[in-house]
Amino acid sequence: MKQTLYMTTLALSLLIATGTAQAYSTIDDNSNPGSERDLYQICNTIFNTAYQSSDELYNDRGLSDDEDDWWFEIDEGYVNITVRYAGYGQELGIEDSAGVYTPIATNIPQGQNALYATINIDDDFVFVEKLSGSGSGKGPWYSDDRTAPVVDHFVAFDVTDLFNIKNNTAVDRAWLIAFEDLPNGGDHDYNDLVAVVANVEPTLIELSSFTAKPDNGRVTLDWATASETDNAGFNIYRAESPDGEYSRVNAELIPARGSVLEGAQYSFTDTTVQNRKTYYYRLEDIDFSGRATLHGPVTAMPLWIHGLFAF
């Protein structure tokens, strides 16, 4: 069964006095040098590419701007979303066909990020980006064309091959998506919020929570499932940066205890950490056929608290 993900392309339109629309065919770089990264630079950092401009990136991987609307077939199941860059206090969410809005990440700090979420696709939806808080000029802006012909705030790129090489995966499709969130087209650099979206095989567990709790010289990972189907168990992976090399922490597979009708609660304590150092953790579930699904990351910094001082 296929679902439809609606996205617009780079056909950015500006309403002029005659009431007609003028389409922009370029992505502006260096519009605010020194304070923001250009879109092509963000892509180079994520996927180790060597683009020299955002136009070069668009010409190579951008979706055609012959039409305002584009849609992609995504297997029904789970889609991973990783926010990789935000300009200032943005919020990213989705809106379904009934107009119900669900936030994915809120109050995203400025700079490069790795805010990771997995959403279950069972309905048509569009991406929604806005500035946190309320008031004029804060959006929302959508990945479809409801704001055209004044301006299209969204552009997408096909990065399936780059995503699979980087993550050693075989997903069907992966996209780099980018928003321009300033009213009336802003500065046309499309680097206000950048995320990677990839469809994955439906997981055989329903994960209800995954948290990391720091302590003195240790981090405790807790997770809970709502249901489990043919689940063999779990592994915990750790890295020292969001995009760093993740290594398995547990010596043996953590056995599954849930069932189709009832989930379970799990806990694992990592004692091979140093205080005052930030760690990133991912949870892997593995079914009896060997298929694995990753969740996370979550992050924690272990500390020794003595009085008012942290060591």
pLDDT score for 67: 37
Q: Considering 183, 200, 217, which residue would you say is the last residue of a domain?
A: 200
Would you say residue 202 has pLDDT above 60?
no
pLDDT score for 47: 93
Same domain, residue pair 57 and 161: yes
* Cα separations in angstroms, 150 against 25, 64, 194: 15, 19, 22
Would you say residue 36 has pLDDT above 50?
yes
Q: What is the CATH number of the domain that holds 123?
A: 2.60.120.400
- Over residues 160-184, the pLDDT tens digits come to 999 989 877 777 788 898 888 765 5
Neighbours of 222 (CB within 10 A): 15
- The region of weakest confidence among 67-81, 86-100, 230-244 is 67-81
- Over residues 133-161, the pLDDT tens digits come to 666 667 787 777 665 544 567 888 889 99
Same domain, residue pair 98 and 119: yes
Spatial contact of 91 and 129, defined as CB atoms under 8 Å apart = yes
Find the domain containing 258 and state its range. 205-310
Same domain, residue pair 167 and 255: no
Neighbours of 86 (CB within 10 A): 26
Q: Considering 145, 169, 200, which residue would you say is the last residue of a domain?
A: 200
Determine the average pLDDT of the residues in 69-83: 60
- The region of weakest confidence among 83-97, 153-167, 277-291 is 83-97
Same domain, residue pair 98 and 235: no
Where residue 192 falls among pLDDT bands split at 50, 70, 90? confident
Determine the average pLDDT of the residues in 241-252: 86
Choose between 145 and 32: higher pLDDT: 145
Same domain, residue pair 138 and 283: no
Same domain, residue pair 162 and 85: yes
Choose between 307 and 259: higher pLDDT: 259
Spatial contact of 192 and 86, defined as CB atoms under 8 Å apart = yes
Would you say residue 22 has pLDDT above 50?
no
pLDDT score for 143: 77
Q: Considering 172, 200, 228, which residue would you say is the last residue of a domain?
A: 200
Where residue 128 falls among pLDDT bands split at 50, 70, 90? confident
Same domain, residue pair 184 and 242: no
pLDDT score for 170: 75
Secondary structure element (H or E) that encloses residue 39, with its range: helix 39-47
Would you say residue 272 has pLDDT above 90?
yes
pLDDT score for 14: 21
Determine the average pLDDT of the residues in 223-242: 90
Burial-class residue 170 by CB neighbours within 10 Å (0-12, 13-18, 19+): exposed
Same domain, residue pair 137 and 64: yes
Instruction: Look up residue 300 and give its two tokens.
Output: 């924690």
Same domain, residue pair 181 and 261: no
Q: Report how many domains make up the chain.
A: 2
Choose between 138 and 214: higher pLDDT: 214
**pTM check: above 0.85:** no
pLDDT score for 279: 95
Q: What is the CATH number of the domain that holds 248?
A: 2.60.40.10
Same domain, residue pair 139 and 285: no
Q: Which residues of 46-76 are buried (b: 16+ CB within 10 A; e: fewer)?
A: bbeeebebbbebbeebbbebeeeebebebbe
Spatial contact of 194 and 84, defined as CB atoms under 8 Å apart = yes
- Percent pLDDT > 70 in the chain is 70
- Percent pLDDT > 90 in the chain is 27
Handedness of CA 93, 95, 96, 102 (dihedral sign): positive
Where residue 82 falls among pLDDT bands split at 50, 70, 90? confident
Would you say residue 30 has pLDDT above 80?
no
Same domain, residue pair 24 and 56: yes
Same domain, residue pair 131 and 210: no
Choose between 18 and 84: higher pLDDT: 84
Choose between 216 and 138: higher pLDDT: 216
Determine the average pLDDT of the residues in 97-106: 80
pLDDT score for 216: 92
Neighbours of 261 (CB within 10 A): 7
